Amino acid sequence: MDSPTAAHLDLHPQTLPSDLHPGLPPERASRATQGPYAPELDRLAGKIEDGVRITPEEGLYLHDHADLLLLGRLADTVRERKHPEGRVTYIVDRNLNPTNVCITDCGFCAFYRRPGAEGAYVMERPELHRRMQELADLGGRQVLMQGGHHPRLKTAWWCELFQDLRQHFPLINLHALSAPELDHLAKLDKRPVQEVLRDLIAAGLGSVPGAGAEMLVERVRAIIAPKKTTTDRWLAVHRAVHEAGLRSSATMMFGHVETHAERIEHMERLRALQDETGGFTAFACWTMQPEGVPQQELYPRKATPGTYLRVQALARIYLDNIDNMQTSYVTQGLKAAQMTLRMGCNDFGGTMLEENVVSAAGCFNLAPIEKLEQQIRRAGFTPVRRNSWYGLDDARLGAPSGPKNRAEAATHKGALSGGVA
């Protein structure tokens, strides 16, 4: 061969990068795979693969030392064990925020208005009906109804609304009023939250969303939401919800002022309550969206997707007693959501025909249903529609399976007797 060889040209076939960089130390094995943390990570991996619960200390160790590959794979293992059918569920729903008037003044919220402020609203009934009808026309099964802490809208106002909506839209479950709102109603009514719940359930409340948990750590709440329901109250309200015969979901908003240990603390509180009641259907988490919120100066820059994926995967591993994990495509986008299907998530949440609360904070990521199904399918899963209690409700599967209503889903069965099913 008379053509010049690589050696003539001072190019080095199969030259490894460390040779190209004499200034750097010899290649360093990753801390996660072969470094000093590897033996403990191996032990924890074995434990999780065997289905053994991990401690808060072990959770923190994984958070800080495992790489995304290990966390993702372990979360995927747990998801596979809990959901071996290869289905990813979602629900056709929309958000309705009947009011944005709020007296809680959370500095991370771009949605609320003070009473009387410009843009403050309470939605008129015809408008609510119009939006419910749009949802019903699309085969919707749930309306996620949350709003501000309005100083004058009491339990009776909500009960009347719920009765009206149940009567007109019997197929649409009212997934409504987060724990801080329920707590707020109890304060306005000056009576225990149990009594408020009894009335709301009688009026048609079907399940309770997990919002308002933010971080269930008082140090953090004192900074980000000093006027909002405390950690203990949030947990007490959910306990009351479960004991009243309703199911609820759980959430976490992170990536702001909390420490890594506080993320674990939050998960530990949810896991402990779930051991007690079993009432949480699902867990969802998302990162704080700091753009355009009232107290933006309080917050660091938005957490990167890598942080979200890490925490989401860890949550699947840690919350071993919660059946379902929702991905957050609204805040993270469809590509991240698709990856989470192999990092612990088995549910795409709601189709959210609109999302006022998050989108007001400069994040609008609405995916049409078909595109959403395509993402699920192309990640290797079968998309299936569900109801609010994670019963399957999809004509393509034939008859519905799993709980069909709040009574069938209840963990505290006796509680609902006498109420409307």
Partner 1 sequence: MRLLRTAERAGITDLAHKVLAGERLSRADGVRLYQADLYAVGELANYVRERLHGDRTYFNVNQHVNYTNICNKLCRFCAFQRLPNQEGAYWMTPEQVGQKITAQLHQPVTEVHMVAGIHPKLDYQYYLDILRAAKRARPSIHVKAFTMVELDQIAKKAKKPLQEVLPELIEAGLGSCPGGGAEVFADRVHQESYHLKMSGEQWLETARTVHRAGLRSNCTMLHGHIETIEERVDHLDRLRLLQDETGGFQTYIPLSFHPDNTEMADIPGPTALDELREIAVARLLLDNIPHIKAYWILMDVPVAQTALAFGADDVDGTVVEEKIYHEAGATTPQEVAREELVRWIRDAGRVPVERDTLYQVVWSGDPEQAQVGGAVPVGTR
Residues that bind partner 1 (CB under 8 A): 3-4, 6, 9-18, 20-21, 23-25, 27-34, 38, 41-42, 45, 67-70, 72-73, 76, 301, 303-309, 332-333, 335-336, 338-339, 342, 374-375, 378-380
Write down the least CB distance from residue 137 to partner 1, Å.
Answer: 28
113: nearest Cα among 381, 360, 378, 421:
360
> Which residues make Cβ contacts (< 8 Å) with residue 318, sequence separation at least 6?
54, 59, 264, 267, 268, 271
Q: Is 203 helix (H, G, I), strand (E, B) or coil?
A: helix
Write down the least CB distance from residue 310 to partner 1, Å.
Answer: 8
Task: Give 298-304's long-range contacts (Cβ < 8 A, gap of 24+).
Answer: 298/107, 298/108, 298/223, 298/224, 298/257, 299/108, 299/256, 299/257, 300/256, 300/257, 302/255, 303/254, 303/255
- The residue (of 132 and 309) whose beta carbon lies closer to partner 1 is 309
How many C-alpha atoms does 27 have within 13 Å on its Cβ side?
A: 8
Pairwise CA distance, residues 116 & 70, whole Å: 51
- The residue (of 29 and 395) whose beta carbon lies closer to partner 1 is 29
Write down the least CB distance from residue 366 to partner 1, Å.
Answer: 13
Pairwise CA distance, residues 418 & 415, whole Å: 8
* Residue 243 near residue 278, CB atoms below 8 Å: no
- The residue (of 28 and 81) whose beta carbon lies closer to partner 1 is 28
318: nearest Cα among 366, 355, 283, 281:
283
Write down the least CB distance from residue 238 to partner 1, Å.
Answer: 31
- The residue (of 70 and 315) whose beta carbon lies closer to partner 1 is 70
Write down the least CB distance from residue 385 to partner 1, Å.
Answer: 21
- The residue (of 12 and 413) whose beta carbon lies closer to partner 1 is 12
Pairwise CA distance, residues 114 & 99, whole Å: 11
Write down the least CB distance from residue 47 to partner 1, Å.
Answer: 13
- The residue (of 45 and 223) whose beta carbon lies closer to partner 1 is 45
Radius of gyration in angstroms for the set of CA atoms belonging to the chain, rounded to a whole number: 24
- The residue (of 39 and 116) whose beta carbon lies closer to partner 1 is 39
Pairwise CA distance, residues 190 & 186, whole Å: 6
- The residue (of 115 and 380) whose beta carbon lies closer to partner 1 is 380
- The residue (of 378 and 396) whose beta carbon lies closer to partner 1 is 378
* Distance (Å) of CA 1 to CA 4, 5, 7, 9, 14: 8, 9, 14, 15, 20
Q: Which residues pair with 334 in a beta bridge?
A: none
Write down the least CB distance from residue 373 to partner 1, Å.
Answer: 12
Write down the least CB distance from residue 33 to partner 1, Å.
Answer: 6
- Pairing of the two strands 248-254 and 205-207: unpaired
Q: Which residues pair with 280 in a beta bridge?
A: 248
Q: Is 162 helix (H, G, I), strand (E, B) or coil?
A: helix
Write down the least CB distance from residue 21 to partner 1, Å.
Answer: 6
